[in-house]
Homo-oligomer: A and B are copies of this chain.
Amino acid sequence: MAWPILVLHGPNLNWLGQREPEIYGSLTLAELNEQLQTEAVALGAVLTCEQANGEGALIDAIQRAATRGDRGLVFNPGAYTHTSIALRDAIAGTGLPTVEVHISNVYARESFRHHSYIAPVAIGQISGLGIDSYRLGLQGLVAYLQRYDRNQTA
């Protein structure tokens, strides 16, 4: 059976393809989600893809995922990475294994983008590899779940 996973996009990512394409590329969010769905099939996962601009709406989405039994979270928290303790608490509170992903290399941008409230409660972080960050994040999460389930079974 496939692992149900939430792919969650934070603020302004609905403008992907329109917003600063020299930083974020020209693919739209819908196209990105489609690519990730295809990738997921190959990995034995099934994705729910959501986007929201509001901090509260993103917390709601994480709680819904936990309630419906999703096994993990691929999360691009966008600018909330640097300002939201509430999203950190949502991840820690639901206990969803989370990979934090960023399209651009946040460490090559303004210094206020170098700090992440999410990273310490995530299992890992990927940044700078364009939309491959999502794809590799999904792979990393599935590999984590495989190891986890194997340990549980053993």
Contacts and interface: CB of A to CB of B under 8 A. Distances in A.
Interface of A: 10-12, 14-15, 18-20, 52-57, 59-60, 63, 78-80, 82-86, 88-90, 92-94, 99, 105, 107-108, 112-117, 119-130, 132-133, 136, 139-140, 143-144, 147
Contacts of A125: 105, 107, 125-128
B86 A85 contact: no
B114 A115 contact: yes
**5 closest A-B pairs by CB:** A54-B56, A124-B128, A19-B93, A107-B119, A79-B85
Contacts of A52: 56
A84 B84 contact: no
22 contacts: A10-B86, A11-B89, A11-B90, A12-B63, A19-B92, A19-B94, A54-B54, A56-B57, A79-B86, A80-B86, A83-B83, A105-B120, A105-B123, A107-B116, A108-B121, A123-B128, A123-B129, A124-B127, A125-B126, A126-B136, A133-B140, A136-B136
